[in-house]
Chains A and B, each alone.
Chain A
Amino acid sequence: MRPAALDHGYGPTTKLIFALIRVLSERARQDAAKMTFYRPDFYGKLAKTFIQDAMRGTSAWSVGDHELIAAYISRVNESRFCVGAHSATTALANKDKERVMSALPDLDNAAIGRSLRQTLRMLGTLTRDGRVRTTGMHLLLGPAFRLSRFSRCSLWPSLSMSPSGFLILGSSIEIWR
């Protein structure tokens, strides 16, 4: 029983975008996209700019890393739509689908670098528990890693990006059926 208002009120360009998403994602429902494009002055316009900055702005992380982080947090949030979308993007960016598929279910043995693994672990804990112990951050910032990689600016995208609440939003509306 999701709000019927989300099924109406879109222009031709947006409808075309929905059609493309439907084809590319092989999913009939695209509630996260509808939420973003519905009455964009309330939420979508600013949210898209914010997410674009977080996911593609200046960062020590690669595009593939960003998308892997998003896919991993989506998995923690149990958002199937977002797991699929971000997994596909990181597989394309990294040209390595196995890397993505191995990291999501088995972080400890995934074929990823230690710093990315620790970051994913911290973000997963925070998403599940709503907080993270300082020791978790020490693992990230410890001497085993190059501190410059974890300057606050570098960490910003993983701090602010969509995985936390925006994917909660995605997973919420995904099940409005």
Chain B
Amino acid sequence: MAMTSETDGRDLRLALLEQILNGPGKATRNLRVCAFNNKDVPEPLRDLIGNIVARPPQITDADFGMAGSAGFDDDELVEMVICAAVGEANRQYEARVAALVAAAPEHGSG
């Protein structure tokens, strides 16, 4: 049976989340999860991750400087930026689906 674009997309989204959170990477899994959820982020990364999630145009050199001076290298920072941004995307996606389902239950999780 041919999959719809929706099911393709759902599988792709889950595969992407699995990769960035649990796949091979330089940052620890715990750090990636913290960045993804924007929760319990270590102090040196807090401004950077918080700005990526809520105020991306306000990111400053100081945000990266603080993270770098705490010992995080470029690869780790790239991974955590990706996790933070995709995490926010995922939260927005889930909010849209929840609002759609609440408004029109017939369009629920089928």
Q: Which of A116-149 contact B (CB under 8 A)?
A: 123, 126-127, 130-134, 136-138, 140-141
Of the candidates B6, B51, B82, B96, which one forms a contact with A153 in the assembled complex, judged by CB atoms under 8 Å apart?
Answer: B6
A interface, size bucket: 35 or more
Q: Which of B85-102 contact A (CB under 8 A)?
A: 85-93, 95-97, 99-100, 102
Residues 41-57 of chain A, each 1 if its beta carbon lies under 8 Å from chain B, else 0: 11100110110011001
Say how far A139's CB is from chain B's closest CB, in angstroms.
9
Residues of A within 8 A of B9 (CB): 50, 53-54, 57, 156-157, 160
Residues B89 and A168 in contact, CB atoms below 8 Å apart = yes
Residues B97 and A35 in contact, CB atoms below 8 Å apart = no
Q: Does B78 contact A (CB under 8 A)?
A: yes
**Bound-state Cα–Cα, A54 to B96, Å:** 15
Q: Does A88 contact B (CB under 8 A)?
A: no
Q: Does A173 contact B (CB under 8 A)?
A: yes
Residues B56 and A130 in contact, CB atoms below 8 Å apart = no
Tally of chain B residues near chain A (CB < 8 A): 51
Residues B104 and A165 in contact, CB atoms below 8 Å apart = no
Of the candidates B10, B56, B102, which one forms a contact with A78 in the assembled complex, judged by CB atoms under 8 Å apart?
Answer: B56
Q: Give residues in B with beta carbon < 8 Å to A.
A: 4-6, 8-10, 12-13, 15-16, 19-20, 23-25, 51-53, 56-57, 59, 61, 64-65, 68, 74-75, 77-79, 81-82, 85-93, 95-97, 99-100, 102-104, 107, 110
Q: Give residues in A with beta carbon < 8 Å to B.
A: 1-6, 35, 38-39, 41-43, 46-47, 49-50, 53-54, 57-59, 77-79, 123, 126-127, 130-134, 136-138, 140-141, 151-153, 155-157, 159-160, 164-166, 168-169, 171-173, 175-177
